[in-house]
Chains A and B, each alone.
Chain A
Amino acid sequence: MKVRDLQHEVLPQATPDELSRQRAVVSLRKLLNARVRSGNVARFASEGAPAFAARHGRQPQSPGDIRAALFESQRYRMWSAANRSAQEMLWVSVGEPVYRDLDRMEAAARALAESPDRRGSLTLDPAYDPSPEVADIDIHLQPGGYGMDRGPDDVVAGALYETGGNVFSFGQGAGRGDSKTGVAVRLLAEHFPGFVPTRILDLGCSAGAATAAYAATFPEAEVHAVDIGAGMLRYAHARAESLGVAVHFHQMDASALSFPDDSFDLVVSHNLMHEIGAEKRRAMIRESARVVRPGGVVIHQDVAIRFEPTLVHQVERDWDTHFNDERHWHTYASADLIADMRAAGFEADGIVEHNLAAIHGSNRWYAITAQKQA
């Protein structure tokens, strides 16, 4: 199943002008990334470091020095301001059709959720207060954040996440045919040949795009997914129903699961680790190890920002921490995930880190995998 750019009933019906606006923001982001950001590390050497040395009487060495040196470059400052502006405009470009079309979307979501033909389910937990570590931040400037819940029919967080994610990813160079699920399924085929999961759990599923793709890829499997926000989950559930796949969505913290031990064949997370702090990440990985059955497989996949060759590249990458409200971008990028997996109980020689080519487009993905001892 395609993951991005899919048509379904809960997607906002954007006008031609709104689609033009989104395409313009995608192109602006592509230009800024390909033609301006790509020169930032060189700018550090040619402008930033000499200016820093002239001002401070020493070469920039620490991450803080390097960050200050980058801001000595006029072009870096302009890129930073323009990139922040493009990110804000991204949300305006997708948010306008969401809020304009919201009455129809909410009605469609309710009808799908209550349909006698529904195949999956949605279990919200009114007693659960979405983890403030995630919910209190407008991660990558998504207005209202992942945990936003504006009322019993609200689907805004999910709609913003899906439509904003598409515009963002295409601006980063992701192909329209790319799929994190596709990458994980290919990884399963290569490293665990013959492994066919019958119970799958997706942790931190957001709008449920990857989850729905698992349900389509493994139609015999029972697929469950958890996330923190009711607005996100209502959207994810209605989206899956509209696409005709069975997924059981639960409002639950990925670091404190209510599923019994050994209850899934495959436990995955997609782009979750970089959104949570170290303590919650370790607890999430422990929970994934607990609920996967002996012989089952765990795949934690995320963005490929962990292999930057120099400290200057790392500091340049961490722009997102400071300007894009990706608070845990650096936490994730510098984490010892093998140690986390070992601490969760996986055997050291079965833990593998992967630097993976995308299914479509030039992006790469990171994943860490392990199989629970039988």
Chain B
Amino acid sequence: MTTAAEAILALVDSARGNRPQSLDDREVEEVLNIALALLVELSVSNDRIDRLERIVAAQGGTTVEALRDLRYDGVAADERQQAMEALLARVLRVLIDPRVPTDGRPPRD
């Protein structure tokens, strides 16, 4: 039985040749690659949520449109607001980190 991770690594390990760089900074280019891969994974998750919504709607005797039109208020709305703020704090943490950025690399000369 080949796991998904083993399958991906088998594919990645079989690649040959170079990875020519387009941007001025290789680190930035690698982060761009990671961001685009996450974009693809977000799309995969959205598709999975869509499938679940359709199943839930069918089992609950409602429509997908009605399911998606569920509006929050009161406690549920507060919980969603708090969850969203926590997500922003996690993702944007580096922007609000109080520590002063410094160059941690040893001198090059």
Interface bits B46-74 vs A (CB < 8 Å: 1, else 0): 01100100000000000000000000000
Interface bits A117-140 vs B (CB < 8 Å: 1, else 0): 000000000000000000011100
Verify if A35 is at the interface (C-beta below 8 Å from B).
no
Verify if A229 is at the interface (C-beta below 8 Å from B).
no
Shortest distance between the CB of A179 and any CB in chain B (Å): 28
Query: Which of the four size classes fits the interface of chain A?
Result: 35 or more
User: Judging by beta carbons under 8 Å apart, are A81 and B11 in contact?
Assistant: no
User: Judging by beta carbons under 8 Å apart, are B36 and A99 in contact?
Assistant: no
**Cα distance A246–B10 when bound, in Å?**
33
A144's partner among B14, B24, B33, B36 (CB-CB below 8 A) is: B14
Pick from B37-45, B79-87, B91-99 the stretch touching chain A. B37-45
User: Judging by beta carbons under 8 Å apart, are B17 and A138 in contact?
Assistant: yes
Verify if B76 is at the interface (C-beta below 8 Å from A).
no
User: Judging by beta carbons under 8 Å apart, are B22 and A95 in contact?
Assistant: no
User: Judging by beta carbons under 8 Å apart, are B12 and A81 in contact?
Assistant: no
Shortest distance between the CB of A26 and any CB in chain B (Å): 10
Verify if B100 is at the interface (C-beta below 8 Å from A).
no
Verify if A308 is at the interface (C-beta below 8 Å from B).
no
Verify if A93 is at the interface (C-beta below 8 Å from B).
yes
B11's partner among A84, A143, A145 (CB-CB below 8 A) is: A143
Verify if B78 is at the interface (C-beta below 8 Å from A).
no
Known: A24-B44, A84-B20, A102-B2. A91 touches B11 (CB 8 A): yes
Verify if B8 is at the interface (C-beta below 8 Å from A).
yes
Interface bits A312-349 vs B (CB < 8 Å: 1, else 0): 00000000001101000000000000000000000000
Shortest distance between the CB of A291 and any CB in chain B (Å): 33
**Cα distance A20–B51 when bound, in Å?**
11
A28's partner among B2, B33, B40 (CB-CB below 8 A) is: B40
Verify if B103 is at the interface (C-beta below 8 Å from A).
no
Residues of B within 8 A of A62 (CB): none
Nearest opposing residue in chain B for A137, CB measure: B17
Residues of B within 8 A of A6 (CB): none
Known: A85-B32, A325-B17. A17 touches B8 (CB 8 A): no
Residues of B within 8 A of A81 (CB): 21-23, 29, 32-33
Residues of A within 8 A of B6 (CB): 99-100
Interface bits A37-52 vs B (CB < 8 Å: 1, else 0): 0000000000000000
Nearest opposing residue in chain A for B2, CB measure: A100
Verify if B7 is at the interface (C-beta below 8 Å from A).
yes
B44's partner among A17, A92, A95, A325 (CB-CB below 8 A) is: A17
User: Judging by beta carbons under 8 Å apart, are B7 and A145 in contact?
Assistant: no
Residues of B within 8 A of A25 (CB): 40
Q: Which of B6, B40, B51 has the most CB of A within 10 A?
A: B40
Shortest distance between the CB of B47 and any CB in chain A (Å): 4
Residues of A within 8 A of B12 (CB): 92, 143
Residues of A within 8 A of B11 (CB): 91-92, 95-96, 98-99, 143
Verify if B15 is at the interface (C-beta below 8 Å from A).
yes
Shortest distance between the CB of A43 and any CB in chain B (Å): 14
**Cα distance A325–B19 when bound, in Å?**
10
**Cα distance A95–B24 when bound, in Å?**
30
Residues of A within 8 A of B16 (CB): 136-138, 143-145
Known: A100-B2, A138-B15. A82 touches B40 (CB 8 A): no
Known: A28-B40, A89-B40, A138-B17. A97 touches B7 (CB 8 A): yes
Residues of A within 8 A of B23 (CB): 77-78, 81
**Cα distance A141–B17 when bound, in Å?**
8
A24's partner among B10, B17, B40, B51 (CB-CB below 8 A) is: B40
**Cα distance A28–B37 when bound, in Å?**
11
Shortest distance between the CB of B94 and any CB in chain A (Å): 22
Shortest distance between the CB of B4 and any CB in chain A (Å): 6
Known: A81-B32, A99-B7. A93 touches B40 (CB 8 A): yes
Residues of B within 8 A of A86 (CB): 36
**Cα distance A28–B10 when bound, in Å?**
24
Which A residues have a C-beta under 8 Å from some C-beta of B? 16-17, 20-21, 23-25, 27-28, 71, 77-78, 80-82, 84-86, 88-89, 91-93, 95-100, 102-103, 136-138, 141, 143-145, 148, 322-323, 325
* Contact sample, A vs B, 9 pairs, CB 8 Å cutoff: A17-B48, A20-B48, A28-B39, A84-B22, A85-B32, A89-B37, A95-B11, A102-B2, A323-B20
Nearest 5 pairs of A and B residues by beta carbon: A95-B11, A99-B7, A80-B22, A24-B43, A20-B47
